[in-house]
Structures are given as C-alpha cells and as structure tokens.
C-alpha cells in the first residue's frame, strides 16, 4: 500500500474577540514516504498551526487529513515532558505510548544526550540545552515514517547541531520530513520540495527558485480587525 500523508481542503478557524479568524484556508498537499517538504512562512503565516494539525494535537475545522504512514510529534518538542520525572522516566513514558521496549534504546539516549548522571535526575533541573538534547534523543529513539520539524533546529551548540544533522538528515534520509521555517537557507539545504504558506494559504511551486521568488516578494500584513 502507498505510504503517504495527505491534506485535503484543510481549514482551521480560531475564535478571537473580533470574531472567527481563519488561520489556515483550504490547505491541500500530499507527501509520500521519502519526500522532503519545506514550508516557508513568515511569522503568523500559520506554520505552527499546521504542525499542530499534522501531528494530530488539534483537528481541522473542516477538510481532512489522511495519515497512511506514522507521523512523529514535532521534533525535539520539550513541552510534553513531565518535569518532575527523570529523563529516563520520560524515555520510558514515550516508549510505552508507542509500544517500544525502552531498554535497548538506553545506550543510544545516554550516548546522544551526554547527560550522564542527570539522566536519572528530574527534568526540571535541566538547562534548556540539556532539555533539547533529551527531546531530540527521544524523537530519534522512536522510528517514524515522517518527521515534523518546526524551525528551532538551530538551538544548541554547533557540535550538537552537527550530530542532529547526521542522525536526522543522513541516517534517516529515506523518511519523509515536513520542515516549516521562515529561513529559506535551512529549507534549501534539506528539502527537495518547497511550498509557501502565505496568509493561511499554501502555494506550491514547480521549482524551488519559484517558491523563493514568491516568498521574497510577499509580506504578511498585521491581522486586520474586521468590523462586520
């Protein structure tokens, strides 16, 4: 069976004090396993909303999302940690949720995070960098067909960045990525398909250069107050 994720006419509305606001407007695309899609968008274009819908944390207001392959949680996402628990407890939790045995993964997590004894301390004692390393290691510990990446990859020192690069973009090259960012350079180096999210609409282009040209020439105005 074909493995892909497909969005069809996906809309997302949020209610604000000035009435309902459409953040995503009829977004459609398909991505097969192995495809590397970059989505460019400025602040407020709807990138994070799209990631929340793709991961399944939120549902579309209309339209539908078909997942015919496993989709990760947003890469290196630290928000789902229970900070009173240790790093290992959090590893165990994630493994239980995805039905994976945690013991064989421990050496990889120990090696990758370089947390040493802190892996057995509560996550609330971690620095931001330590938390990032743990989050990234957990993302790599569970195997997915498609990884969701919400910018932020530039966090951490260069050495850690390089190791992330190897784990994700080299060792897992055969998987799909959906990378959202406002930075064209990141997307150019990792993706073979680019789309632009502009004011809630997704524009797809034949060539990467055409996408950049469009992105460079479209600004996002501040969300307007509607009086109707």
Partner 1 sequence: MTSLRQSFAIQRRVIGALLMRELITRYGRHNIGVLWLVLEPLAFTVGVATLWSLAGMANRSPMPIVAFAVTGYSSVLLWRNTVSKCNAAIEQNFNLLYHRNVRVMDVFATRILLEIGGATASFMVLTLALLLAEWVEPPQDALKVIAGWLLLAWFGAALATFIGAAASFSEIVDRVWHPISYLMFPLAGAAFMVDWLPPAGQEVVLWLPMVHGVEMVRDGFYGHLMRTHYDVGYLVTANLVLSFLGLLLLRLAGRRAKSH
Instruction: Give the SS3 label for residue 225.
Output: coil
Find out whether 35 and 187 touch, Cβ atoms under 8 Å: no
Told to check if 120 binds partner 1 by CB under 8 A, we report no
Q: What are phi and psi of 7, to 5 degrees?
A: -110, 135
Q: Which residue, 10 or 211, is less far from partner 1 as judged by CB? A: 10
Out of 10, 38, 45, 73, name the contact with partner 1 by CB under 8 A: 73
Told to check if 97 binds partner 1 by CB under 8 A, we report yes
Minimal distance in Å, beta carbon 37 to partner 1?
A: 19
Under 8 Å CB-to-CB from 147, ≥6 apart: which residues? 72, 75, 139, 168, 172, 175, 176, 177, 178
d(CA 177, CA 149): 7
Taking each helix axis as running N to C, give the angle between helix 106-113 and helix 128-141, from 0 to 180 degrees, rounded to the nearest 10: 150
Out of 65, 71, 208, 220, name the contact with partner 1 by CB under 8 A: 71
Q: Which residue, 97 or 166, is less far from partner 1 as judged by CB? A: 97
Stretch that binds partner 1, among 34-42, 90-98, 108-116, 214-222 (CB under 8 A): 90-98
Stretch that binds partner 1, among 25-33, 63-71, 103-111, 159-167 (CB under 8 A): 63-71
Identify the residue whose tokens are 């390393």.
133
Told to check if 151 binds partner 1 by CB under 8 A, we report no
Instruction: Give the SS3 label for residue 102.
Output: coil
Out of 2, 17, 43, 99, name the contact with partner 1 by CB under 8 A: 99
Told to check if 203 binds partner 1 by CB under 8 A, we report no
Q: Which residue, 58 or 213, is less far from partner 1 as judged by CB? A: 58
Q: How far is CA 156 from the centre of its chain?
A: 17
Q: Which of residues 5-34 bind partner 1 (CB under 8 A)?
A: 14
Find out whether 21 and 14 touch, Cβ atoms under 8 Å: yes
Told to check if 77 binds partner 1 by CB under 8 A, we report yes
Which tokens belong to 43?
Answer: 């602040």
Interface contacts to partner 1, rule CB under 8 A: 14, 52, 55-59, 67-68, 70-71, 73-74, 77, 79-80, 82, 84-85, 89, 92-94, 96-99
């Amino acid at each position: 069976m074909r493995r892909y994720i497909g969005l069809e006419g996906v809309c997302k509305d949020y209610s604000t004090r000035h009435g309902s606001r459409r953040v995503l407007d009829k977004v459609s695309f398909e991505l097969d396993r192995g495809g590397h899609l970059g989505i460019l968008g400025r602040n407020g274009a709807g990138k994070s909303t799209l990631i929340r819908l793709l991961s399944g944390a939120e549902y579309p207001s209309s339209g539908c999302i078909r997942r015919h392959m496993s989709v990760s949680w947003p890469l290196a996402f630290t928000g789902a940690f229970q900070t009173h628990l240790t790093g290992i407890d959090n590893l165990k939790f994630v493994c239980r949720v995805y039905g994976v045995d945690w013991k064989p993964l421990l050496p990889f997590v120990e090696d990758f995070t370089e947390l040493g004894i802190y892996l057995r301390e509560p996550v609330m004692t971690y620095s931001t960098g330590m938390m990032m390393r743990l989050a990234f290691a957990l993302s790599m510990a569970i195997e997915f067909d498609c990884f969701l990446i919400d910018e932020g990859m530039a966090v951490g020192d260069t050495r850690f960045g390089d190791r992330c690069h190897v784990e994700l973009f080299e060792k897992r090259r055969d998987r799909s990525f959906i990378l959202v960012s406002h930075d064209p350079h990141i997307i150019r180096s990792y993706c073979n398909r680019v789309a632009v999210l502009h004011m809630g609409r997704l524009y797809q282009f034949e060539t990467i250069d055409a996408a950049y040209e469009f992105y460079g020439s479209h600004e996002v105005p501040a969300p307007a107050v509607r009086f109707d």
